[in-house]
Structure 1
């Protein structure tokens, strides 16, 4: 199943609708502290952001790192319509070891906020794929690197797999986290687990709603949003992650004003139809041979994109180097709930695979 941020949208909208002076004052203090944390002062740093002409429209690209000589990561965000920029304070230590490019794709973040729905052009999976290739070329030219490390999360893993599969000449490795496995609609692990949780909890009304949806996933956007909300709210760890990681990151982001947060939420609603375009994707049919190192780091307790389907896909992948690992105590948004564990995996498993003499010859 694909992840949306339905709970974050509802909860953040409620906060925005009824702010109080004390809450706003505390928010300003936290935003100031986060802004201070984001400062990069090392001699060989890079810290730049702004609009780049991509796919015929201006799209926001951020490039940050303490040392330009470090490997370059291009993140492919989740959502759809979300932006990983809100997680910058949580992932600040990553920038000591990697230069990280975060791109607000069309229909998301600052790109959406600048011109609204009317300025987004074609919103399709194929257009996002073409945009991603343009962003990749921009990064290669801007930083003078032959390849970038592709890191995709949640919805972004749909694009990430295609990019890595089709263009090993552009990417040094693929890292998927909150890895989606669609399998042409055959994958139903998350659905079955939700039914079991609702039945065990005696939630008859919610169980009736889920069983009425059925498991074939030929749902409307509204039905999918309802399903995702039930998946996340019926699992304590997922619900806690939404509140303590996602919503707090949104609310205390130093890069987003209150108006910016409203635009952020509108972007997710605007981009929701993208979900329906990926329902028929079959990862096995598209190909399980990758000519680059291939990694999947999944939350061990992720109920939205469970680790078991991700492991089945991983087992069938052929790649020059591959590895699978679980992030302990993590639901969906695993890399942002436990950025320390994710960084350790990147340093111990991924970085050696892309910097060894053999890797540089791939």
Structure 2
């Protein structure tokens, strides 16, 4: 995703600078006002916490500390969720939302680009995620939290949820990735089909030369593929422009320097994907000792809904539900935050509050 986002940003910055920056200042100020939490029982903590030997940015926000706690795991790699506070402000009325910019991503990377602990690996992020989880449990004085990963974060999230039911009271995946050791080529074939239809013969040749098996791709090839997969789909590209870049540009948290660092972090984090294509989510186990939910963009071309549904059908869990988010491709929760909140309230909150009443508390005043 790094290439398509960067290219779109360059085009935006080509417009007249003075008017653009003036409009940005007004909108950032309005978003800062929107983000204020004044509720007596609320919480708004944003800053750096020592995780895995480095300072990592964590935000804990909500209007009522007794609400269920949602811990996000962002995608990318390196595509931090810290810019999206204004879009998801309504979620914080019903849940306490925890956002964590992983090492090599977002505000964590911007804070100290040279102090990220070396190349980012999947194993290192896994250990960081466990440490972040335990920090949140202690800070919020809860027994377990809802794990809510998106996109590449779901590859991490599945392993955390499957192996640590003592830490998580539910799994809520969106833009659900399913690692299948190269068996499913539907997204790859779809990308080729869109490129051929657009007459982009050079790009078709580049993708064909890579082959359909992601286990054989380098990190750079994966980044190139992601750019062409997303950029060849009008809905995904529109979401990148209006939702992803729009949120980053207007976030009160992001100075121009931090925006530059955001993209630097995505490039820095490419190494995380090394070896991940060897994973096999079906072979690793489909039994989860917690409620299991997937809310997927109906038109997702990066992580196709059919693939996510096939995995969901194989899952065994005490409670489970799969829902499509219409009118959305990838980044479905951010494209349709209202619909996503409705699904959280319809499926997730009842499941975790029932568990609370049965003695497996999700939140404590």
TM-score tier (shorter): over 0.9
- The SS at the match of 2:64 is coil
How far 1:204 moved relative to its partner? 2.5
How far 1:98 moved relative to its partner? 0.2
Of the three residues 228, 231, 234, the one matched with 1:230 is 228
Give the alignment's TM-score, normalised by structure 1. 0.95
Is 1:47–1:65's contact at 8 Å kept on the other side of the alignment? yes
Runs of 4+ in 1 over 6 A off after TM superposition: none
Is 1:354–1:360's contact at 8 Å kept on the other side of the alignment? no
Rounded Cα–Cα distance in structure 2 between residues aligned with 1:304 and 1:216: 15
1:146 maps to: 143
The 1:359/1:327 distance shift into structure 2, 3 A limit, reads: farther
1:5 maps to: 2
Rounded Cα–Cα distance in structure 2 between residues aligned with 1:200 and 1:14: 24
Of the three residues 161, 164, 168, the one matched with 1:164 is 161
1:250 maps to: 248
Rounded Cα–Cα distance in structure 2 between residues aligned with 1:359 and 1:166: 24
The 1:166/1:7 distance shift into structure 2, 3 A limit, reads: same
Of the three residues 94, 97, 102, the one matched with 1:97 is 94
Aligned length: 359
The 1:274/1:224 distance shift into structure 2, 3 A limit, reads: same
1:30 maps to: 27
Matched, 1:61 2:58: yes
Matched, 1:335 2:346: no
The 1:360/1:185 distance shift into structure 2, 3 A limit, reads: farther
Matches within 5 A, 1:280-299: 280-299=278-297
Of the three residues 173, 176, 183, the one matched with 1:186 is 183
Rounded Cα–Cα distance in structure 2 between residues aligned with 1:224 and 1:290: 30
1:114 maps to: 111
Give the alignment's TM-score, normalised by structure 2. 0.94
How far 1:83 moved relative to its partner? 1.2
Of the three residues 212, 217, 240, the one matched with 1:219 is 217
Of the three residues 194, 202, 209, the one matched with 2:199 is 202
The runs of 5 or more residues in structure 2 that have no matched partner are: 361-365
Is 2:290–2:318's contact at 8 Å kept on the other side of the alignment? yes
Matched, 1:323 2:321: yes
Rounded Cα–Cα distance in structure 1 between residues aligned with 2:41 and 2:87: 22
Is 1:117–1:270's contact at 8 Å kept on the other side of the alignment? no
How far 1:15 moved relative to its partner? 4.4
Q: Deviations 1:74-116 (Å, cap 9, x if unpaired)?
A: 0001111121111110000000000001011111111111111
The runs of 5 or more residues in structure 1 that have no matched partner are: none
Superposition RMSD on alpha carbons, in Å? 1.6
Of the three residues 67, 70, 86, the one matched with 2:67 is 70
Is 2:119–2:271's contact at 8 Å kept on the other side of the alignment? no
Is 1:67–1:96's contact at 8 Å kept on the other side of the alignment? yes
